[in-house]
Amino acid sequence: MKRLAELGLRHLEIEFVRGVKMGQDTAKEIRALAEEHDISLTVHAPYYVNLNSAEPQKISASKDRIIQAARVGAWAGATSVTFHAAYYHDDDPEEVYGRVKCSMEDMLERLDDEGIAIRLSPETTGGPSQFGTLEELVRLGVDIPGVYPCVDFSHLFARSLGEFNTYEHFQGALQLIKDNLGAGALQEQHIHLSGIEYGPKGEKRHLPLEETEFRYGDVLKALVDFDVAGWLTCESPILEEDALILQGLYDELKST
């Protein structure tokens, strides 16, 4: 937290991608430091999530992992928890949507029962085998008020095999959110951004910004033009270096 403040960065995503291994005392320490240094927090739940598994116990375990990440995130003062919701397997996407929606409603009820105040924000995913197009996640937000997508623009680029890569595409994504979820949704956006490499099956790996074909600068321009607010996490292999590049470019676009 102190180092982020020294660098002039104001957001951190707590990465529980290999499991939630943090207790309440540590979470409260993080909360105090984040408040002291004016740093906003979001959470990434474990990767081991599939709300469309053929095995009911795996769906139950997936929901437990998301709830656990949300619980600890709330202790730390995080505003939103994101996760990769499901795989299609060979199932009809409409059926998968129904299963994910049912799981989301169950998790929200459990969080409400525990008094845990944090947003569930399923993430746009990087490959066509995964549930998580922007349209699917916006639809979830329409059907379940209070749910918003975590928009990983890099994933949308990889998922489209490089086609989703113009200012007009990025503008269209924000317009879709605004039209369906309201202008207020653009004021609390959970966003991921990085360089990325893709192959025939979509996302392969994250890249430093200087190595990518992805037009991240046009993403930032669209965010400025739509007056988007919220929390942007850089998922580059060189985290703070590329985060500072994004911060500098964003500040430059805001000032023009």
pLDDT at 70: 98
pLDDT at 134: 98
Region 37-45: mean pLDDT is 98
In whole angstroms, give the CA distance from residue 42 to residue 33: 14
Give the pLDDT band (50/70/90) at residue 234: very high
What CATH number labels 2-255? 3.20.20.150
Give the pLDDT band (50/70/90) at residue 256: confident
Angle among Cα 30, 231, 36 to the nearest 5 degrees reads 30
H or E stretch covering 15: strand 11-15
- Number of separate helices (H) and strands (E) present in the chain: 9, 11
State pLDDT tens for residues 165-200: 999 999 999 999 999 999 999 999 999 999 999 999
Domain assignments of the chain as residue spans, ordered by start = 2-255
